[in-house]
Amino acid sequence: MLVLDVSASMSGRKIDELNAGLQFFFEELRNEDLCRKRVDLAIVTFGKDVTLECDFATIEEQRIPFLKPVGTTSMGKAIILAADIIEKRKLEYRELGMDYYRPWIFLITDGEPTDMKEGDSLWEEVLSRIHNGEKEHKFLFWALGVDSANMIVLRSLSPPNRSPLLLKEARFTDMFMWLSKSLTKISESSIGDQVILENPISPDGWGSIPSG
């Protein structure tokens, strides 16, 4: 589940590079036989509105969205929607008697939420959904900050065992390459296997963990 910021602050270079990164991501996964069949992808965007751009489907069935920035940053509502859609998809798998890998929620933002603030009811609901979702093994939550993203907010929202990452120099393509390689490794594994992923904060990696 990609949860992508399309607020007005993403205009220009950032939205162009995000769209290019998505194009690359889809192409990489479509080049892998198992990924085409096993990676089940959905995309939620948030700006002025929260939109389900792509409901869950395999990579070969998906269309590549073209994202346009507008409005504010409805991050809280987007996270809730993403978690709800994941639970619905898992129920569909269970009803079909199918096993599934633990889902990922991968959030990308260059700002901070405008629909919630620390301590209000939506904030507490989002925090509970993320932290309990991780604790109960419902999903893995990753937060990625771009440019002037509020990393303090992302750190507060993230589970204690996974710090939010800051994208180096708008390296969207490198990040999506890491994501596609990670999903390829997972799709090649058996459900329940422990998969060792490439470290995104290595010297040559695309991410960093800000200090302070």
pTM of the model: 0.92
CATH code assigned at 129: 3.40.50.410
Neighbours of 34 (CB within 10 A): 14
Per-residue pLDDT of the chain (212 residues; tens, 9 = 90+): 999 999 999 999 999 999 999 999 999 999 988 888 889 999 999 999 999 999 999 988 999 999 999 999 999 999 999 999 999 999 999 999 999 989 999 999 999 999 999 999 999 999 999 999 999 999 999 999 999 999 999 999 999 988 999 998 778 999 999 999 888 888 887 766 676 677 776 646 787 666 44
What is residue 212's predicted lDDT score, i.e. its pLDDT? 45
- What CA–CA distance (Å, rounded) separates 21 from 15? 10
3-class DSSP state of 111: coil
- What CA–CA distance (Å, rounded) separates 185 from 165? 21
Query: If you count DSSP H runs as helices and E runs as strands, how many of each does the chain have, helices first?
Result: 6, 7
58: left (phi over 0), alpha (psi -120 to 50) or beta: beta
Cα–Cα–Cα angle for 170, 134, 119, rounded to 5 degrees: 80
User: Do residues 1 and 107 touch, judged by C-beta distance below 8 A?
Assistant: no
Name 123's Cβ contacts closer than 8 Å, sequence gap at least 6: 76, 116, 117
Q: Which amino acid is at 137?
A: H
Domain of 103 in residue numbering reads as 2-208
CA-based nearest residue to 210, from 145, 158, 161: 145
Domain count, the chain: 1
What is residue 185's predicted lDDT score, i.e. its pLDDT? 86
What is residue 208's predicted lDDT score, i.e. its pLDDT? 64
What is residue 210's predicted lDDT score, i.e. its pLDDT? 63
- What CA–CA distance (Å, rounded) separates 20 from 35? 20
